Amino acid sequence: MEKCLFCEIAEKRIDSKIVYEDEKVVAFKDIYPQAPVHVLIIPKKHISGVTSLEEGDRELVGHMFIVSQQLAKDFSVYQCGFRLIVNSGPDAGQAVDHIHMHLLGGRTLQWPPG
């Protein structure tokens, strides 16, 4: 398989600002932050995107949401609010083919998104 950027980040072969890690997931700061808080939560397992999820990934996906709660607390947006985004495919602008959840916050976010 071709080298995957986020697998490389998870394996710490490429530098990133890791803010959380456990046996299943890694969270790190987005290199081009779109808000004062912009963190990406990824599974350590390579899954290319939402459309590649399998039944056996249910717990992992749920875990990503639970981890987002802790990160929201850590970055002081738990009370004021934050947004979780998972882009899928070209129309959504998915740029990295390793499933990732964006956690955005620290400012008022517009709705609908662009």
Interacting residues with ligand 5GP (CB under 6 A): 5, 16, 28-32, 40, 87, 93-96
Question: Rule CB under 5 A: which of 84-103 touch Zn ion?
Answer: 98
19 binds, among ligand 5GP, Zn ion, none (CB under 5 to 8 A by kind): none
DSSP E strands in 7-73: the ranges are 18-21, 25-29, 37-43
Q: Which stretch binds Zn ion (CB under 5 A): 2-10, 17-25, 26-34, 59-67?
A: 2-10
**What are the backbone dihedrals phi and psi of residue 73, each rounded to the nearest 5 degrees, phi first?**
-65, -50
Kindly state whether residue 7 participates in binding Zn ion, applying the rule CB under 5 A: yes
Alpha-carbon distance of 70 to 89, in angstroms, equals 28
Catalytically annotated residues = 100
> How many C-beta atoms surround the C-beta of residue 39 within 10 A?
28
Kindly state whether residue 19 participates in binding Zn ion, applying the rule CB under 5 A: no
CB of 6 to Zn ion, least distance (A): 5
Residue 111: burial class (beta carbons within 10 Å; 0-12, 13-18, 19+): exposed
CB of 87 to ligand 5GP, least distance (A): 4
